[in-house]
Chain A
Amino acid sequence: MTGVNWVALTIVIILFVFVTAVGFAAARWRRAQSMASLDEWGLGGRGFGTFITWFLLGGDLYTAYTFIAVPAAMFATGAVSGFFAVPYTIIVYPIIFVFLPRLWSVSHRHGYVTPADFVEGRHGSRGLGLAVAVTGILATMPYIALQLVGIQAVLEVMGVGGSNNVIARDLPLFIAFAVLAAYTYSSGLRAPALIAFIKDFLIYLVIIVAVVYIAVKIGFGASFDAAQKKMATINPVSGKPTGVFIPPPAQYLAYASLALGSALALFMYPHSVTAVLSSRSRNVIRRNASILPAYSLMLGLLALIGFAAIAAGTKPIGLDGKPNAQLVVPQFFENAFPSWFAGVAFAAIAIGALVPAAIMSIAAANLFTRNIYRAYFEHGVSREKEASVAKVTSLIVKLGALIFVLSLDRQNAINFQLLGGIWILQTFPALVFGLYTRWFHRWALLTGWAVGMIYGTVEAYHQSSLATKHFGSSLAQVPFFGKLGYIALTAFVINIIVAAVLTFVFRAVKAPEGVDQTEPSDYYADEGDPRVQPIDELTADTSRASST
């Protein structure tokens, strides 16, 4: 790899400028009377239909890092660390089909903007709400940082950023994020919602072309054969096979627990909840649960690029001259396609980073504003003030992610993201069980959360791999099972056991239960339902509709 790929770079820049224009124009899209509320800035007016929600959630959940990391994992170590993403993104939709409509209803009725808002209102516990909010922010920050890593991978393969000069090296990334921050600030959730259309169109185009290319030029059979051979090769350093082609019985638990744990965790992430709450009705969510798997098919095919790259002999070598599996997808495209199409693929990945990064920063900003600022600093804060606090916070969050990536080792971002997945799953009992029952005592839920967080963090810290001494794997021995399993899921089970046992204890000592803001009918409220409160936002809708 020598020099800069100017054709590809030009295509990327053109598409990036186009997306930027769309991002700023989004402020006028589905225009509200005022953007100065979290309902408008942070949830896009809470009125997205099936079609927009499909693009928004697809753009949100299937991030640039996913596109980089899943094929990279397939390339490096095979099925257990890579292909589990397919069952994971299949079973996530039946799971959300069950509980998300309830969360939508109760959030609509009470004007909840974040998952922590609901937890606080349901359990009558600001502390539990704070725990959920802080976990959400902690888990989201490294995730945003990883989107930057995705952009970096593309830039690196294009030959940009090879300079030893720190400013020249990171300038493209800095510009990309400054622009992203600016239109997120002005347009709120509308910007990523509109850009998601472009992102998903490009991604689908690139994947379809790649699949046809693999089928015709390399052959799927040849790809699988090459992968099987590589995975069976004994690694000279560890003395074990390089990876897993088809999981043996000893790895069933690892494979299944990675899929299940990740699926349960996905919609605990604040950015997922943000996209869901921006939808118009319960049925929009349910319909999306049955059409979002289209993205899972795409992800599965994308994962196979990792195997095709093995057959094609792709050599993902960074600008520093060291092998880096994260570069395998961009490198594959650069080798296989003419520069202009490689440029389209790179742009798809880079834009694929911008959409989730925007939604994540909005979600983190919503959490900070509602569950930290409003809960602890200014209780009677006005809607306008809330929106401006959130806008500024979204800038700070992105700046934080940028500093994170530029100052720390890339491995740190990956480690923290691994931890983020473990952490975020620990908010499941308070949120999802809370949607159905108040049987769990609020203090028991808080303790269970804390135990799960600590167990998961310590376990993850102790996992070593050839590359790193700590945080080397998301798998660890499951107690009493003697097999490897996903740490997040083990921590989750411990979390539930602790919460259940302590519930009996707190009941026995008659610890105060806290006040429940919600009532049973809140969990069924729907669009057009007279019981959905006529909150200000709906009144604004009426005047908007009548003026057209």
Chain B
Amino acid sequence: MSGARLPAIAAAGLRKSFGATAVLDGVDFSVATGSVFALLGPNGSGKTTTVNILATLLAADAGEVRVAGYDVATEADAVRGAIGVTGQFSAVDELLTGRENLRLMADLHHLARRDGEGRIAELLARFELTDAADRTVSTYSGGMRRRLDLAMTLIGAPEIIFLDEPTTGLDPRSRRTMWEIVRGLVGDGTTVFLTTQYLEEADQLADRVAILDGGRLVAQGAPAELKARIPGGHIRVAFPDRGAYQTAAGVLDAPAGDEGSLALQVATDGNVATVRRVLRELDEAGVEVESLSIHTPDLDDVFLALTGRPATSEPEEVAR
């Protein structure tokens, strides 16, 4: 790769609707070559749609998108030559063995036979799949499939890699393994674009994080910058009855309500003074409190802090 500082990915004014629903409503971002960029958002926020557009699987309604310097709409083949994609849904061939899957990919990348075999052996070893290499994939565990999936993406040594929710559904150990793998990629100079629902994952891996909500980017920056905006998570106070809940909602400073479970959330920087203040205000109003808990920052808190409401949870659009 050249040392030129052209961004690996640049999107401007990206829009996409499915029917009357605007999934992406004017999204702009840019990803520096050799960096890790995390697109953070809840289910249904448009993450997969964004990846599908960048990976030439889906056409945008409006906006300009360049990947590796090529226009995704008009130079799709050149884009495809530069990228590797690991989607949210398993993209391995169930009826083939691990080795056959990798050989399939080596041949589709038009590698010479010997180079291909060498690369296959190396990837099998690196992803701890050597022992399972000659078993059909239908016998693999979830974590093994995910590793094979990524190995298949890496076989062509792509400049830019897209990982759509690479650790969703994985156990903690597999998740950590995946994180190590991603860090290793960056060490090789690869650009990584990943989507995730987990703030911790973005925090662990990304140089830059963008938060997608309702088709718009509500915040963008280094993880430290974003965390500075949501220093201490929130305090959750639950009430025994509706009356207490409603009184408290009037007393407290800008709480987010959850009427169903009779609980209020107050954004906080986590210091003891806030907790004391909340309790004092409730006390003075004579409101009975059933329980109180303090939450450290997670994605919901980012949303609470940035959008003033809890993160919505809608089913993610199906990848194509």
Query: Do A and B originate from a single complex?
Result: no
Binding site for A on B (CB under 8 A): none
